[in-house]
Structure 1
Amino acid sequence: MCGIIARIGHDDAAETLLSGLENLEYRGYDSAGIAVQNGSGVKVHKCSGEVSDLKSTLDVHPNGNMGIGHTRWSTHGPPTDENAHPHTDTVGDVAVVHNGVIDNYDELKADLKANGHEFESDTDTEVIPHLIDEYRTETGDTELAVRRAVDTLEGSYAIAAIVDGENAVYAARKGSPLVLGLNDEEWFLASDVPAFLDYTDEVIYLEDGDIVVLNPDSYRITDLEGSPVDRPVDTVDWDPEDAGKGEYDHYMLKEINTQPTALSNTIEGRVEDGDVAFETLPADSFEDIDTVQFVACGTSYHAAMYGAQLLRTAGVRTEVIRASEYESMSGPVDENTLVVAVTQSGETADTLDAVRRATDGGAQSLAVTNVVGSTAARTADDAVYIRAGPEVGVAATKTFSSQAVTLALLTQRIAADVPDATPAEDRAAMLEDLENLPQHVETVLETSQAEALARETVDSESYFFIGNGLGHSVALEGALKFKEITYEHAEGFASGELKHGPLALVTEQTPLFAVATGDDKKTKTNAIEAQSRGAPIVAIGPDEHPLVDVADTHLSVPDTHPVWAGLLANVQLQLLSYHAANLLGRPIDKPRNLAKSVTVE
């Protein structure tokens, strides 16, 4: 899940490459590097650390109209200068950046060493420039050498390469994302659109097996055999300012605070005259469905839990399966099974693999994603977009809210089609309160006491989060946010499970955050039990909720339909995590060992 960028035009490329890498750092920040070709050799500059560390080593930006760049999330080898990309062949004529995993690199490396190639890193990537060099020597044709090299690779890759003396960038993809950006004066390649959004919004989403050759004034896309391939040009509707930090200290804080706008975009046009409508899903799309499987990872898994709970309530047989466990946990599927893949980026490797397995078994598939043109959107039979806009902070915030709302609406849409299913009896009230959700989130943001609570609890030993029903997924998400950006021990539980083991860990140094949604008798009962063991109780819910009366502290949310109360509680927990991490001096947007888009299995 590294980030790669390439650029070719008529003026110097280095500054553009560096700014693109800064926009891609959510994909990894263990090391960074660029390579520029200027007619007098390929100049490589790289180091361990963040892009800012790389920039500090460059007294003068290297000259050259074309180049490649990389920001790394380590898989093979630790984050050292030697393992930073770009990697080159033995003499430094070929430079390559790569996102993915090469499964057969050990075998390839042994063969190349036997042919006299010398290696300097622990990475799987380094075999690629050596392969290109080997085949260039044999054929005298760089494009052919690139084709032969990628045909030799087993695993996943998005690569970009430059070669000494050639005014071209060569690229290919299989299993890892790669987007081509177009404007009148320069071409770009990158893992994600934000890398070049300041320069163009015209993009081509490349497919597996595509080979790309960029020259200063043209581009060509072919398949592995060299036959021309026609890919449509799309326009990205994201504003470049949406991908910036603006006036905020951290992307995460900005993205928490822009949730009202994101949710308004998510909802727009999807509630009409008391009914739910999706622009991509015609009537009776789900009339043959008898089972729904949600597959997702991380935060998206918690959003999937939210949707699955509502769909079960509507009487539809529903499972939620972690995508990484799909092969062993899914059971049989058929044409009456709908697999809903929930993935913010649309590039999550485990989720994509689950969709392919389900499709091979005959299931129908639907992607719920944030990125138009993503692999998930193109792999699934249909796609629904959450419309949250670009999210840069590694800790997902606004995308969780938009995913949960999209899935809540989708459940009502599915229930309307599936025979014997029953859409919510109070659907009209639910949809009416949904229209108020953006303003209710705004109220939470304006009145939250989460920062003060973070100061009171920041020295605690552990943090427990509980919830029942819809509140369970919010509790899990609250714990995940807390642990990933504070580095403190945090766990989420279903309310009734607290007494089945975890209660042994409760002390006066273990604050318990109880998510209040609807009639949560189990949450109240288990919170009181933890309180009797000394744990301070924090209720997160409407002022009139019974849990508030027994809690030691309360984070308030506006009174609303129980389906949306959990999402308001989630905003409070996002703010709690953010302020606690800020007090602890953590690198909030770049938590250690993590990256945003997990494109390797």
Structure 2
Amino acid sequence: MCGIIGYIGTKESQNILTNGLGKLEYRGYDSVGIAVYNGESIGVRKAEGRLQNLEDQLGTSPLTGTVGIGHTRWATHGAPSDANSHPHTDKDQDFAVVHNGIIENYLDLKAELKDLGYVFKSETDSEVVAHLFTHLYDDDMISTIQQAIKRIDGAYALAIVTKHEPGKVFAVRQSSPLIIGAGENENFISSDIPAILEHTRNMHILEDGEMAVLTKDHVSLLETVTGNPITRDFFVVDWDMEQAEKNGYDHFMLKEIHEQPKALQNTMAGRVNSENGSIVFDELQWTKDKVNGWNKVSIVACGTAYHAGLIGKSVIEELTRTPVDVEVASEFRYRRPIVDEKTLVIVVSQSGETADTLAALRESQKLGAQVLAITNVVGSSIAREANQVILTNAGPEIAVASTKAYTTQILSFYLIGIYMAQLKEQITAEYRNELVQSLQQTPDQITEILEHTKGLRWYAESIKDAKSVFFLGRGIDHAVSLEGSLKLKEISYIHSEAYAAGELKHGTLALIEEGTPIVALNTQEEVYEKMLGNIQEVKARGAQVLGVALEGNMKIWQYVDETCYIPVTHALLTPILSVVPLQLISYYTALELGNDVDKPRNLAKSVTVE
């Protein structure tokens, strides 16, 4: 998730662009750059790393001009570097482009353009757009954009300046956010409101399939495909700056909970072949022989990533019948793990810098194992050192308590499991299609959950004074209950534990007393009746039970005090939905207690030391 800024007006654009990028840096900080038109040529300055590196460069080599675009990068295609930084240009710098999103068919476009003699300087998917504009330009930039968009598959927010039409800035949106701001004798483009709020409160939110043409005096909104004009009133932003940085949400955690549908779409982008329902991992290129050569899989991670690994174990074992171990990285690194050249080790880390997980990766490689990393940060230590990498593409996660990183890690395991099973020929096309179609529905289903679970705040009110809260589940529900319990502990500071419900009679029941809050997950048909029996056991001891079940399972009403329903999906995929109410319960409980939701005590976002 990158940040885009654009300006056209009567003022020097350099400082406006860099100030805006400072407010967008949370969206990506792998590299940063600006392009400014000075009336004769387009000047470009860009640098790997943080905004300060660019500002140092501009201090000695400034850009003058009142038209410009800027970009702060969260790298997806190509490691962080000066060359991979945006803006990207064609050979003669007639066009400069910044891009947020993923061009899924960029390799095909790049090969085609190379055959035509175009020379590429970066590894990014975005550079193809600049060359494509040069190739297609027909003396009308709107027409050229329309032609280019017909060739591009994927998600994109684009801002473009060109020498051919110097008094304009162009913007195009499809599945990536873009906002237009209207000022007096100046207009703006931004990925987020905070970057331009100091200049104007009059905004348009560009919708999918729309483009905008900005001059210093006017904003034109158009349908991208037809070029038909769009009439839309500005809306006036009345947020203060702190709210605006959170896109109107009270906290980053709540914002990131609501970003999960989009994050899941980004994780799937380019990895699901919609024509035949297969999973595609161009970055892995495994073969049947390679996958069959592994006699076991070891998943190693910490905290929330470890809980995602527990889901991964169930998925990979179910689909491939390959045995899977899941271990906490801090334990794995200090024993003699039984891994060798016939072991696939999967390490999971949101930041890609988790010290214990990095040490486990190195130990596994030393023992001869192949290591696959699942991470959210391209260019991180784990991403660099692993044999192969799957990027979750969740975008920067600012709140310490992980939400969208967890669900995208789970989704990555689903994709890996299906991919391995199809290579091993252990899954029928019908079953694979069923799973893939269900996966593709999960973003909309999470949106549905978020629209109907606002009432969970009452539950947070009821448990905020509890001395302990317990989470129960069986099978894959137990793995989710561990994550729900961790979330509550992290930000509410209430003691919480998760137990396999079948273990109640082996000691856990001694902890249940009158009024003890329990969250009971019951989404698995195979153990549905067994779980109802476990709920009865805790109810008989006075527990207050919130049940989480699939829509239509009305029988649970007779056993619990309240029920939270999630949409019906394949039994293997319920964790990606059932965790969302648990995230909200934790958030609202911390809110009721007056805690700092985004920065809980004693915790940091990335654990880079032991």
- TM-score normalised per structure 2: 0.61
Contact 1:201 1:235 in 2 (8 A): no
Contact 2:481 2:521 in 1 (8 A): yes
> How many Å separate the matches in 2 of 1:510 and 1:232?
58
Q: Equivalent residue for 2:257?
A: 256
Distance 1:364 1:232, change over 3 A: farther
> How many Å separate the matches in 2 of 1:305 and 1:406?
13
In the alignment, structure 1 residue 526 sits paired with structure 2 residue 538: no
Q: Equivalent residue for 1:537?
A: 545
Distance 1:20 1:348, change over 3 A: farther
> How many Å separate the matches in 1 of 2:459 and 2:576?
19
Amino acid at match of 1:331: P
Amino acid at match of 2:594: G
Contact 1:515 1:566 in 2 (8 A): no
Q: Equivalent residue for 1:276?
A: 279
Distance 1:188 1:411, change over 3 A: closer
> How many Å separate the matches in 1 of 2:500 and 2:292?
33
> How many Å separate the matches in 1 of 2:488 and 2:297?
30
Correspondent of 1:514 among 520, 531, 549:
520
Runs of 5+ in structure 1 lacking a partner?
1-10, 27-177, 208-230
In the alignment, structure 1 residue 435 sits paired with structure 2 residue 307: no
Amino acid at match of 2:391: Y
Contact 2:492 2:593 in 1 (8 A): yes
Instruction: Give how far 1:418 is off.
Output: 4.4
Contact 2:80 2:379 in 1 (8 A): no
Q: 1:391-435 CA deviation, whole Å, 9 max, x = no partner?
A: 11110001111110110121121233348x557984332222112
Amino acid at match of 2:258: N
**1:355-434 paired onto structure 2 within 5 Å:** 355-418=361-424, 426-434=431-439
Contact 1:202 1:235 in 2 (8 A): no
Instruction: Give how far 1:340 is off.
Output: 0.5
**1:466-545 paired onto structure 2 within 5 Å:** 466-519=472-525, 520=527, 521-545=529-553
> How many Å separate the matches in 2 of 1:541 and 1:523?
11
In the alignment, structure 1 residue 200 sits paired with structure 2 residue 42: no
**1:17-32 paired onto structure 2 within 5 Å:** 23=26
> How many Å separate the matches in 2 of 1:261 and 1:23?
17
Instruction: Give how far 1:185 is off.
Output: 5.2
Contact 2:24 2:72 in 1 (8 A): no
Amino acid at match of 2:386: A
Name the SS of the counterpart of 1:537 in structure 2.
Answer: strand
Distance 1:369 1:192, change over 3 A: farther
Correspondent of 2:581 among 572, 576, 579:
572
Amino acid at match of 1:442: T
Distance 1:549 1:484, change over 3 A: same
Instruction: Give how far 1:329 is off.
Output: 4.8
> How many Å separate the matches in 2 of 1:337 and 1:408?
19
Distance 1:18 1:568, change over 3 A: closer
Name the SS of the counterpart of 1:541 in structure 2.
Answer: strand
Runs of 5+ in structure 2 lacking a partner?
1-13, 35-43, 57-68, 82-120, 127-155, 157-175, 178-190, 195-244
Instruction: Give how far 1:310 is off.
Output: 1.4
**1:61-100 paired onto structure 2 within 5 Å:** none
In the alignment, structure 1 residue 585 sits paired with structure 2 residue 594: yes
Q: 1:228-260 CA deviation, whole Å, 9 max, x = no partner?
A: xxx988689997649941110100000111111
Instruction: Give how far 1:182 is off.
Output: 5.6
> How many Å separate the matches in 2 of 1:523 and 1:330?
37
Name the SS of the counterpart of 1:359 in structure 2.
Answer: helix
Instruction: Give how far 1:270 is off.
Output: 2.4
Instruction: Give how far 1:456 is off.
Output: 2.5
> How many Å separate the matches in 1 of 2:26 and 2:72?
14
Distance 1:558 1:182, change over 3 A: same
> How many Å separate the matches in 2 of 1:192 and 1:323?
35
> How many Å separate the matches in 1 of 2:499 and 2:351?
27
Q: 1:530-574 CA deviation, whole Å, 9 max, x = no partner?
A: 111000111112133344431111011111111222221100111
Sequence identity percentage: 38
Q: Equivalent residue for 2:307?
A: 302
Instruction: Give how far 1:507 is off.
Output: 1.6
Name the SS of the counterpart of 1:200 in structure 2.
Answer: strand
> How many Å separate the matches in 1 of 2:358 and 2:23?
26
**1:109-120 paired onto structure 2 within 5 Å:** none
> How many Å separate the matches in 1 of 2:541 and 2:487?
26
Distance 1:569 1:249, change over 3 A: same
Contact 2:311 2:479 in 1 (8 A): yes
Name the SS of the counterpart of 1:589 in structure 2.
Answer: coil
Q: 1:133-166 CA deviation, whole Å, 9 max, x = no partner?
A: xxxxxxxxxxxxxxxxxxxxxxxxxxxxxxxxxx
Name the SS of the counterpart of 2:505 in structure 1.
Answer: coil
In the alignment, structure 1 residue 311 sits paired with structure 2 residue 316: yes
> How many Å separate the matches in 2 of 1:298 and 1:385?
19
Distance 1:436 1:202, change over 3 A: closer
Q: Equivalent residue for 1:169?
A: none
> How many Å separate the matches in 1 of 2:336 and 2:477?
25
Instruction: Give how far 1:180 is off.
Output: 6.0
**1:83-232 paired onto structure 2 within 5 Å:** 181=32, 184=44, 189=49, 200-201=72-73
Contact 1:485 1:586 in 2 (8 A): yes
Distance 1:498 1:232, change over 3 A: farther
Distance 1:18 1:387, change over 3 A: closer
> How many Å separate the matches in 2 of 1:458 and 1:537?
15
Amino acid at match of 1:501: G
Distance 1:432 1:23, change over 3 A: closer
Contact 2:333 2:356 in 1 (8 A): no
Name the SS of the counterpart of 1:596 in structure 2.
Answer: coil
> How many Å separate the matches in 2 of 1:331 and 1:293?
10
Contact 1:202 1:233 in 2 (8 A): no
Instruction: Give how far 1:489 is off.
Output: 0.9
Contact 1:324 1:351 in 2 (8 A): yes
> How many Å separate the matches in 2 of 1:20 and 1:330?
47
Instruction: Give how far 1:198 is off.
Output: 7.8
Distance 1:585 1:202, change over 3 A: closer
Name the SS of the counterpart of 1:300 in structure 2.
Answer: helix
Contact 2:474 2:500 in 1 (8 A): yes
Amino acid at match of 2:307: H
Aligned residues: 413
Contact 1:461 1:509 in 2 (8 A): no
> How many Å separate the matches in 2 of 1:385 and 1:532?
47
Contact 1:179 1:192 in 2 (8 A): no
